[in-house]
Structures are given as C-alpha cells and as structure tokens.
Amino acid sequence: MMWPNFFLQDEEQRMGGRTRAGVKRRKVLTDEQEGKIKLAFFVAIVGMTLTVLAVGTEFWVELNTYKQNQSLVCEAAHYGLWKFCHKKLWMDVVEEERATCGPAELPGEANCSYFKFFTTGENAHIFQRTTKKELNITAAIVSLVSITLMAMGSLCITVALSKGVEFLLKPASCFFIISGIMVLVCLEVFRHSVRWLITSDETIPLEYEYSWSVACAVAAGAILIFGGGCFILLSIPGLPKKPWEYCMKSRSSSSNAS
C-alpha cells in the first residue's frame, strides 16, 4: 500500500504544480486592457494594409521621357518591386506646360510584364538603361520578410486577445517594430536601385519621380513602428493608466521621503 500512495501523492503534487504554474502564467485581461490592445492592433492593421498595398503595386517610381514636337505620342514607364510597365501616351492628354511625358496614371497603351531576374536571372532594360538585379531582388526579399513578421505579430495579438493573456504583447511589439524598420530598409534599397538605373546610361534624357506606392510604404513603416511601441507600453506592468497618475505618484513618493 505504501508504493501506490507514494505515486498518488507524487502525481497530485505534479498536477498541483502545473495548475499553479498555469495560474501564474495566465493573466486575464480587463475590458480596458482589451480595448487598448484592440485599438493598437487597429493601428497595426492600417500599417499592414498600406504595406501590402505598396508591395503589390507597381507605382513606386515613374520614368518620363521629354516631349518631341513632331510626335503624336510620348513614352513613359513605371515599375515597382515585381512589375514593369511601359506606356505610350497621346500628346493631347498630357498637360501642355509639362516638359516631360506623364504622369503614368494617364490612359494610354500599356505593356506590363514581371521582371525577368525573378525567373531567368536577366537584368531588365528600361529606355536603354539596365537595372541592377541584386538591389531589386534584395528589396523584394526584404518586403516579403517584413510581411512575414507582420503575420507573426498579428498571430501573437490574436492569441493574446482570444486567451486573455498579455505576455504575447512583447514579442508582437518586436515583430511589428522590426517589420516597420524593414519596410523603410526596403525603401532605401529600392532608392539605390533607381539611382543605379538612372546613371547606367544617359543616352535618352529622362526625368524620374517617386509615386504613391512609395508614399504608402513610408506611411506603413512609420505606423508599424508606432503600433509596436504602443504594444510595448501596454505590456509594461504597473504602468499608470493616465499621465497625471504618474505625476501624482511621483509627488507622493517625494513627500514621503521628506
């Protein structure tokens, strides 16, 4: 009878230890905490939406040739991380005071295709200029890694809200902050690739300008970093709910010390 009792007591101790550990690890969120987490998550979702919009569109930069008086059409181009579009625009749809062709959003004959360096490894040629495929591929890979980190951060927040725990807020904040930084890194790499393209050949005069996809990416990076910072603040234990509570706490502690 001694051995069965011994194993029974040992099993009860282990089960009790697991229960106590589970109680310590599981911290139920209050309605106020859950509301703040949802608000911060909404901010992060806005950043994720802008990132996906920027990465999936090809209006990162526009290349515009100069007008020719004897021609009825002018040529322009625009591209992003994956796709390149060459357009022929009618001169009558382009503003007369504009020296170059464009903008690329105007209606015209468009010929779009994906960059060959993702399939055959060849550089693309745009208006006799050659891309540097290493920079373009790097920018594309960084954008995909950023989206992966966003998905991991979203998974952490979803689990934290569904299970009512807050220990997943810190890893989620790291995922969102790093993803925002990587979006900005992707922009910088892309900027260097554009500069390389423009200076590779100057036979055909060109003007270039960054378009609305870049603006979406810049806003996305800033919003993701801000959202990650909000999750860090929400994960700090004992943080006052309101700023003036911190001031009152500081005054009371200084008065007690004196």
pLDDT tens, position by position, 131-183: 999 999 999 999 999 999 999 999 999 998 888 888 889 999 999 999 999 99
Task: Tell me, rounded to whole angstroms, the distance of Cα 105 from its chain centroid.
Answer: 24
Domain 31-235, CATH among 3.30.300.130, 1.20.140.150, 3.40.220.10, 3.40.190.10: 1.20.140.150
pLDDT tens, position by position, 203-256: 888 899 999 999 999 999 999 999 999 999 988 765 544 544 444 555 555 555
Return the C-alpha torsion angle 242, 248, 254, 258, nearest 10. Answer: -160
What tokens appear for 165 in the block? 């725990």
Banded pLDDT at 13 (limits 50, 70, 90): low
Q: What is the pLDDT of residue 23?
A: 41
Question: Looking at the predicted structure, is the pLDDT value of residue 70 above 80?
Answer: no
What tokens appear for 227 in the block? 């959202």
Q: How far is CA 167 from CA 15, 157, 188, 229, 248, in A?
A: 23, 10, 34, 15, 28
pLDDT tens, position by position, 18-42: 444 444 444 577 888 888 999 999 9
Report domain extents, the chain: 31-235
pLDDT tens, position by position, 95-128: 888 888 888 888 888 899 999 888 888 898 888 8
Helix (H) or strand (E) holding 87: strand 83-90
Closest CA to 220 of 61, 52, 42: 52
The C-alpha atoms of residue 174 and residue 170 are separated, in whole angstroms, by 6
Residues 6+ apart with CB under 8 A from 77: 62, 63, 84, 85, 86, 87, 104, 126, 127
The C-alpha atoms of residue 185 and residue 191 are separated, in whole angstroms, by 10
3-class SS at 257?
helix
